Amino acid sequence: MAPPPRALLPWLLAGCALATPPSCETGDEAACFTGAFRGLLGEHLGGVEVCAPDLPDVDCVVSDEDGTWKLDGLPVDADVTVTALLDGAVPTVFPQTTTMDWYAWYKVMVPLGIMDTNASNLGVTLDPDRGHVLFIAWEGLNLDGIDTPRVPDVTARLPSGGGLVFYANLVGLAAAGFEATTSNGSGGILNLRPGVHEVEISAPAGPCGDPMFHWAEVRPGVIPVPVLAGHTTAIDVRCPVQPAP
């Protein structure tokens, strides 16, 4: 199988040299995820434990000194919950589909203080028995190592209620008073009960979503997002910038 193209997902700093993840050898009966972890300053992050907690037959793996990792034995064409744990970093959930097992997932682990700062900026406290969501809205899918533009004026809504929706300022931190994403394109939800939540994300040009980035949509613009206690779920969404013809 040819090496997967490089993909820059949330919180990866542009311009940093990237380690090459191992290739996936997949077939008709199993899928694989592969990628690399970096820190906010672009450093390789070894020691990140990557697991599929809903799949007891899939062994956890640990990223090597270059931050690279490979998770084998995943079901084919399925929505999978992947967790990433590292001392000093936010425990993170990545909901992904194994139809993208050809894709290299380059990810950044966020320092613990980031989520505390988000909560403080909004005048709330993080509940350890609940989970949180961070999202970034993009114009398209990165296939060549260059991020597409982020999308402003995107809104998020929980049809069933619960949680505190916020949008980030220009430096990517939660800020009170915003009613949609800034040019930073990011936002999130704090203090959600564990479980799968339907999150409706929309741009002025139409509903957002792309099953390449996350679990399959329930309907246009409504994305099922798994939430674990004490974790932050990170998703990318693709949002239109022109109305559909």
Q: Tell me the domain boundaries of the chain.
A: 6-108, 112-238
Q: Please give the average per-residue pLDDT across 54-72, as a whole number.
A: 94
pLDDT of residue 9: 38
Q: With beta carbons less than 8 A apart as the criterion, state whether 93 and 232 touch.
A: yes
Topology, domain 112-238: Immunoglobulin-like (2.60.40)
For the residues of the chain, what is the DSSP string, one character each?
A: -PPPPEEE-TTPPTT---PPPPPP---SS-EEEEEEEE-TTS-B-TT-EEE-TT-TTSPPEE--TTSEEEEEEEPTT-EEEEEEE-TTB--EEEEEEGGGTTSEEEEEPPBHHHHHHHHHHTT----TTSEEEEEEEESS---SS-PPPB-SS-EEE-TT--SEEEEE-TTS-EETT-SS--TT-EEEEEEEPSEEEEEEEEETTEE---TTTSSPPSBTTEEEEEE-TT-EEEEEEE--SS---
pLDDT (tens digit per residue) in 12-48: 333 345 678 888 776 678 889 988 998 888 889 999 9
| 6-108 and 112-238: identical CATH topology | yes
| Residues facing 168 on adjacent strands | 174
The first and second tokens of residue 196, run together, are 């799968």
Q: What is the mean pLDDT of residues 151-168?
A: 93
Q: In this model, does residue 225 exceed pLDDT 90? A: yes
Position 4 pLDDT exceeds 70? no
- In 10 A of CB 28, how many CB atoms? 6
Distance separating alpha carbons of residues 113 and 88, to the nearest angstrom? 9
pLDDT value of residue 228: 97
| String of DSSP letters for 89-109 | B--EEEEEEGGGTTSEEEEEP
User: pLDDT class for 151, splitting at 50, 70, 90?
Assistant: very high
Query: CA 170 to CA 165: how far, in whole Å?
Result: 17
Q: What pLDDT digit, counting tens, does each position of 75-127 carry?
A: 998 999 999 999 999 999 999 988 877 777 888 899 989 999 999 999 999 99
Domain 6-108 in CATH 3.40.50.1100? The answer is: no
Residue 157 is predicted with a pLDDT of 95
pLDDT over 70 at 10, yes or no:
no
What are 194-224's pLDDT values in tens digits? 999 999 999 999 999 877 788 988 899 999 9
% of the chain exceeding 70 in pLDDT? 88
Q: Which of 92, 69, 106 is CA-nearest to residue 60?
A: 69
Across the chain, mean pLDDT equals 87
Residue bearing the bigger pLDDT, 192 or 18: 192
